[in-house]
Structure 1
């Protein structure tokens, strides 16, 4: 296929780690999927990945994200994976829709991002995560909760839906306290939450407000059950984050029982000699398969053709979530997960060493016995 022009996929990475990098398993996973589909004849031409990695909101600027999107379009990509952060996706949506040329698949949680050209495969949802989080807190015996919400667009949207979720789950909210979306002293906020001694704390937001909460709670001598959204997935990124989330219960997409995930991890290990058993490689595997199927089904192989092909993907078994989770899009269907357990709850052990399965919206579960 030396004379065949590769099909180009864009990666719009809008959140960088402290070193200015991003998870190396993203490209390794996407290339594994592309190579597999090419070898099996699903794809008729090789795939080239074009990466634009910038620091968007909350730590950077939206302008960097907008520029990255425009650069990817000029590079001739047929579909874009990204942006990842809701604050950037909400702001970028008008530009994607006005152009009407290249579809984006976002992992952002805000449904206000979705449109004709913006597809959502969110690592959660601001509408659904609070329902699951409040349900699990109630299953654990909580009847009252205090809410710590990040003072941001994401935090405000989560707060609105969390109020409704708590009411439906029978949880009484004793206090709502804003916290900064950066690492800062949280002792005053935690003291405010502790006044009425609620049964538990719910944190809502992107996640950058969590660091320091454990320390502040220890300083005031109060460590109730603590719950968070998919901000919990930061626990998979480093030992430092696991320490910040030690003892917390939060939403995740890695479930050891999911055999689609197990098969992917087997394939990855056979190729790379290691096993990245956490949510993000599984998520990238799901996104990657949807993008490859869209490239394979596009008639013609153009941005609009890929968008139309995305809409025809139905009931693809997902590696993310509990067993039975599936993927699909469609006309006017822009939320890709099928199944109530596309999010599971995991718990970081008190020593911060690892996380274990805790529950789904359907009930508490026994964690696997394997280490």
Structure 2
């Protein structure tokens, strides 16, 4: 029996096309994992329905928890397993520590990987970035925000970790540019022993505000410590702020913090996408991970569409041809563009400042220069 008329266009000679395999490398304990995967499927399905890509996408998911809690080797092995399964591209790793460890492996293996990391140390011929933050950019934004609020002194706390050290180096520079005095520079690990003692030392220097630079786990523990110390400073943190979306108790723990985020209600593409996804899922998931995941699918779909050949090397070439692709994340003029020597996709006001008030985040503003 001949194929139905509605199928003939997609089944030449009656033979189906194989789906395109895209790997998903989950390298962190992700409270929003199900939302993440659902959004990826939704975004790729929309791209296929719109004709951006001619084949459906099959996600090959590998959970390979690495640093900072476990070992980088887990994430490296996870990436290599995805490459062995024939994926054309990998989404992940998602965080700085594992991205730094994996970058040389990605280049040797030759399967492009789109990470969300913010470090400048993730780079290579097959290393692409759609940042969930930027360690240098965030430091510049935090220093500018502090100065524009009228503060002139700051207490700085940073993690002893690859990301924390990179954040701190950038913040020192931008604090000096903004004419801020760093009264004290304190340190913590990602599993601190005496965090309240560290906060007490900062409080005793009486800075105008507190800046936290790092991956962010310790900030979830600070609320009762502030109460014990009788100290409620104006405080701003890195994109670790976005952990608030992972669990309601983390949102509550970070009440009152300002932080670097990406979701901006002024972006005209954000609301319609969130509405479509809510209709698809049957519930609302209005947070940054949803928007970032959707942008990730549209970036990769465009790379697949522009690939001269559906091989990993071809997809790498296709990604380098993406230009001026509108984003749902970030401010109204945020877009995604790549090039042969430009593998950071987000352009424009892709980072914003939000604050947690009453158990939810509210938009504060886009970046403005300090002086």
Q: Which TM-score bucket, shorter chain as reference? A: over 0.9
Pairing partner for 1:172 from 170, 176, 181: 181
Deviations 1:258-298 (A, max 9, x none): 11111211211221222211101100111100111111221
Contact conserved, 2:60 with 2:87, CA < 8 A, in 1?
yes
**Structure 1 position 12 matched with structure 2 position 25:** yes
The Cα of 1:44 is off from its aligned counterpart by 1.6
**Structure 1 position 338 matched with structure 2 position 347:** yes
Aligned-pair Cα RMSD in Å: 1.5
**Structure 1 position 293 matched with structure 2 position 302:** yes
Distance in structure 1 (CA, Å) of the matches to 2:270 and 2:39: 12
The residue number in structure 1 matching 2:366 is: 360
Deviations 1:78-119 (A, max 9, x none): 0111001111110111111122x2111110111111111101
Q: In terms of Rg, which structure is larger?
A: 2
**Structure 1 position 322 matched with structure 2 position 331:** yes
Moved over 4 A (4+): none
The residue number in structure 2 matching 1:106 is: 115
Distance in structure 1 (CA, Å) of the matches to 2:193 and 2:324: 44
Distance in structure 2 (CA, Å) of the matches to 1:39 and 1:347: 37
**Structure 1 position 29 matched with structure 2 position 26:** no
Contact conserved, 2:32 with 2:246, CA < 8 A, in 1?
no
Gaps in structure 2 of 5+ consecutive residues: 1-10
The residue number in structure 2 matching 1:137 is: 146
SS of equivalent residue, structure 1 residue 210: helix
The residue number in structure 2 matching 1:348 is: 356
After TM superposition, the score normalised by the length of structure 1 is 0.93
Contact conserved, 1:8 with 1:76, CA < 8 A, in 2?
yes
The Cα of 1:211 is off from its aligned counterpart by 2.1
The Cα of 1:183 is off from its aligned counterpart by 5.8
The Cα of 1:236 is off from its aligned counterpart by 1.3
Pairing partner for 1:87 from 97, 100, 111: 97
Deviations 1:219-254 (A, max 9, x none): 111111010010000111122111221110001011
The Cα of 1:184 is off from its aligned counterpart by 4.8
**Structure 1 position 128 matched with structure 2 position 137:** yes
Distance in structure 1 (CA, Å) of the matches to 2:306 and 2:209: 48
